[in-house]
Amino acid sequence: MMARVDPLNTRNTLAEFSQKMATIPLMFEPGTQWRYSAAVDVQARLIEVLSGQPFEDYMRAHVLRPLKMNSSAWTLPQDRYSRLATLYTMGTDKSLSAKGETEKRAANFSDRKLTMRGAGLATSIDDYMRFGRMMLNHGSLDGVQILKPSTVRLMTTDQLDPRVTQRHILADRGNGGFGINLFVRNQRPSSKNEARGSVGEFFWDGAWSTLFWVDPANHMAVVFMVQRDPSDLSLHRDIRAAVHGADYQGPKEG
C-alpha cells in the first residue's frame, strides 16, 4: 500500500504527504508494538499546522539560525553542490564504488517539494556537533536557548511501555528504548557484541553508516560521519570501543 500511495514521493508537499499517509492503515494497534517509520515526517506536518509556517522556514528561524548551523538546509543553492560528500556502496567483494553524480544527488536538495523531518537536511560535521552540544547542554548553546531542559528530558526518556516487546530495529542498537526520535540506553551493555556506552546516553544513526550520540554521564557529544551503504553497525561498535575501551560498561554505580 505504501508503494501504491507513494506518500514519500518528493513531488508531494508535506500536506499531500500527510493526507496520503492517512489513507494507509496502521501496522498494529497503538501502544502494542513499535516500528521506525514515516511518523517522524508526520511531525514535520504538525509543526506546519501548529506554527502556521512552512516546516523549513520554522526550522530555519527557530533552530538553525539561532544555533548558528549556517551550513544546514533542506534547499541548497547550486554553488554548494561541490561540498556534498561522495557516497559509496560496498559490493559483495568488499570493494567500494561511488554512487551517482554529485549534480544528480544535489537535485534532492533543490528539485523537490517534500521537506521531510526524518531525512533530507544537508549539513556539515561542525553544524551537527553544535546540535549535539546543545542537546548535551540541556537545550542551550552559547547563551541561546533552543529547547527547554524539560523538553530535552522528555526527548531523552524511554517512552516505550515495557510490554512493547516488538521493537523493530532497536534490539540491534543495544539495551534500551525510544524517546522522542532518539534511542535511549537504559541498561548497561550485556554482551561483548553490544556497542559500548553509558546508561542515559541517547543517539541515532543514519542510512549511510553515520552516527551521533550524546553521553551525559561523561559530558560528551560525538559525531561520526561515514558515507557507506549498506549501513554497517559494526563501524559503530568499533568507534565506540575506540572512544570508551572494548570492555566499557559505563560509570561505576554509586
Per-residue pLDDT tens over the stretch 137-184: 999 999 999 999 999 999 999 999 999 999 999 988 999 999 999 999
Identify the band that residue 102 occupies on the pLDDT scale cut at 50, 70 and 90. low
Collapse the DSSP code of 132 into the 3-class scheme (helix H, G, I; strand E, B; otherwise coil) and give the result: helix
Q: How confident is the model at residue 101 (pLDDT cuts 50, 70, 90)?
A: low
pLDDT at 227: 93
Of 208, 227, 181, whose CA–CA distance to 40 is shortest? 181
Q: Give the pLDDT band (50/70/90) at residue 82.
A: confident
- The CB-based long-range contact list for 153-158 (8 Å cut-off, 24+ gap) reads 154/179, 154/180, 155/179, 155/180, 155/181, 155/182, 155/202, 156/180, 156/182, 156/184, 156/200, 156/202, 156/214, 157/184, 158/184, 158/186
For residue 56, pLDDT over 70 is answered with yes
The pTM score is 0.93
C-alpha cell at 16: 499531500
Question: Would the pLDDT of 254 be above 60?
Answer: no
Residues pairing with 73 in the sheet: 122
Cα 20 to Cα 6: distance, rounded to the nearest angstrom:
8
Percentage of residues in the chain with pLDDT exceeding 90? 81
Q: What is the pLDDT of residue 112?
A: 87
**Domains, in order of start, for the chain:** 1-74+96-122 (no CATH), 124-246 (3.40.710.10)
Per-residue pLDDT tens digits for 23-38: 999 999 988 999 999 9
**Residue in 7, 11, 226, 37 with CA at minimum distance from that of residue 107:** 11
Model pLDDT for residues 103-123, shown as the tens digit of each residue: 666 667 777 899 999 998 999
